């Protein structure tokens, strides 16, 4: 798979809602090419962006997990599967007692269904902290997570503009091509 060209994603989020100042994804060191530990890199994120900004915690952080981590037994959500970035997610809970910290919009967006635009009910609220990895155990960087998340956000915007049309992701994709 060729490297992802991020230059085309500069203006992918075109909604008119005001945003808090964007969080900088922490720079990740390239994973070591090591045959016995192919599960290089996972992304762990907790809470929502506003809470993270208040507490000055990063929205996510990169680290290494073992090849036998439970996240690899999860199924790939609809949209990441369709765009051939086979992400898997596993809930780890949270240390916060604040119920608002259990909301995890990123995890919800990554789990949207390509036909309906809705995440499964158990991924819609009180998600908490999750581990995200590539099912194929290829290197996974915070920028890749952000790219897939922003793509899902863009798809949700298209679903909002597609009221009355059926076909889900396919209809939304056609509408961006003028059809």
- Cβ neighbors of 57 (< 8 A, separation 6 or more) are 46, 47
- Per-domain residue ranges of the chain: 33-176
Q: Where are the alpha helices (DSSP H) in 16-70?
A: 49-55
**For 1-21, b where at least 16 C-beta lie within 10 A, e where not — what string?**
eeeeeeeeeeeeeeeeeeeee
Residue listed under structure tokens 């690899």: 72
Torsion of CA 81, 111, 170, 85, to 10 degrees: -30
What's the N-to-C CA distance of the chain in angstroms? 29
Q: What is the mean pLDDT of the chain?
A: 72
pTM above 0.85, yes or no: no
- Cβ neighbors of 43 (< 8 A, separation 6 or more) are 60, 61, 62, 131, 132, 133, 140, 142, 145
Could you tell me which residue, 4 or 43, shows the higher pLDDT? 4
CB atoms within 10 A of CB 47: 25
pLDDT digits (tens, 9 = 90+) for 30-67: 443 222 222 334 444 444 444 444 455 567 778 788 99
pLDDT of residue 126: 85
Percent with pLDDT over 90 in the chain: 35
């Amino acid at each position: 798979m060729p490297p992802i060209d991020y230059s085309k994603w500069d203006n992918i989020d075109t909604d008119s809602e005001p945003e808090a100042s964007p969080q900088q994804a922490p720079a990740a060191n390239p994973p070591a090419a090591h045959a016995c530990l192919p599960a290089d890199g996972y992304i762990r994120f907790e809470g929502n962006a506003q809470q993270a900004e208040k507490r000055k915690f990063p929205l996510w952080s990169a680290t290494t997990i073992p090849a036998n981590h439970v996240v690899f037994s999860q199924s790939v959500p609809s949209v990441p599967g369709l765009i051939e970035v086979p992400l898997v997610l596993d809930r780890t809970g949270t240390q916060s007692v604040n119920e608002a910290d259990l909301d995890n919009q990123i995890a919800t967006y990554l789990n949207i269904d390509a036909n309906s635009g809705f995440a499964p009910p158990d991924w819609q609220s009180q998600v908490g902290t999750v581990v995200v990895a590539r099912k194929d155990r290829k290197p996974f960087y915070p920028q890749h997570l952000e790219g897939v998340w922003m793509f899902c956000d863009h798809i949700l915007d298209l679903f909002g503009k597609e009221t009355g049309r059926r076909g889900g992701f396919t209809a939304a994709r056609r509408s961006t091509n003028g059809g």
